[in-house]
A and B are shown apart, each in its own frame.
Chain A
Amino acid sequence: MMKMSELSYSVSGTDILRDISVEIPARGMTALIGPNGAGKSTLLHLMSRQMEPMSGQVVIDGQDLATITAQARALKLAVVAQHLNIASRIRIRDLVGFGRWPHARNRPTAEDRAWVTDAMTHFDLIALQDRFLDEVSGGQRQRAFIAMAYAQDTEWLLLDEPLNNLDLHHARSLMARLRDMADHQGKSIVIVLHDLNYAISWADHVVALRAGRVAFEGPVQAMATGENLSNLYQTPVAMDHVDGRPFARYHR
């Protein structure tokens, strides 16, 4: 379980997040939703300690994230950022291989190599493994970074808008893969999503942010109501059911 208490973050006097206290259940998928500028990415960065909060703390399984080493943190949680740019000339296989750094440093064992191959298989990268990162498309690059986080084999996996560059096929298979990891490998996944329908049809749990505060949070089934979502986005959202699953209509 990840417990955040009274997290606050501000940039030159402007509050980005204020008094965020949320518990995110382990072994499941939690979607972070909210309008632009609500603080979703910032919250994700605070969870992974890419940024340090002005006050408050993040505790995973009883351990305060601020008190453990960067190394220990990298064994506990992996992050896939939103903007993925790398200046050095690097092949897909080598990038995914860096996911094993926290485990193996620069001495990968046979087991580490197996992990890398496994990760590339899962994310449809085997055919691309010898290509340079700057020679593949944005979506392929994104998948390479997700595969790298997968190879890191951490209990927690945090993803910031991973569907951004992905086509229908890869977006859906990524969500299915994450779902499978949550259900069968006991992973805890936190994912920032803009597409409401992906959020409500794949996630178990939802945390909605608005203007730096928690608007609502809880199980998707209970919380993803038309009224809640309409208030959250200040836009009419109607909830339907298609094939027994919730479906949000908001595009027109």
Chain B
Amino acid sequence: MKRKIAIPLVTILIIGLFAVVFFENTHAQNLSWGSSGEEVSELQRRLTRWDYYDGPISGTFGPQTYEAVRLFQRRNGLTVDGVVGPQTRSALGMPTTTPAPTAPVSRGVSRSDDVNLLARTIYAESRGEPYEGQVAVGAVILNRIRSQDFPNTMAGVVYQPCAFEPVKRGTINDTPDDSAYRAARDALNGWDPTGGALYFWNPATATSRWIWTRTITLRIGRHVFGV
């Protein structure tokens, strides 16, 4: 369920890989009361040079610096707000931007192989089941990735020891059919017939007593799904 709630945006780009890229410090930061660092020292030096400021070059933006900036802004016809934004910056002759990052030449890549791994698992676990049952198996794996009780990657979930029978038997490596691929894609695209289930089992073959302590959400074909 978290998927639907937490980041529907993520699903917009579900096929792709999302890289979180930080463009930190590429744009010059505004300097205001409370700022500190080398840039503030530079600001104070410039203000001292033009007699707006007579305090210490402390590198800390305090009341004296604030007044000095306001004075500077007033005399130079800028918005008087005591904040060194882009305009005040250029009036002060301070660099308005730090150097732009060099644009990468290569393009982003996506982990499309997740589809294959998911399709193999679906095929091995639920061949012969109704289509929605296959999508449901895929959804359980994706729900596990998001759950705190399970590993956080698809490979981690699928290959977790003692988790899936076909992994143990090696049938996970069988080539999936079209239906399993379609089910894997539907699951990745957000279809979840189970409403957030984390477990599924076949009542006829399940050996673990523990599994029956789970809350059942629905039954499809031979499988029982639960949270």
A and B pair up: no
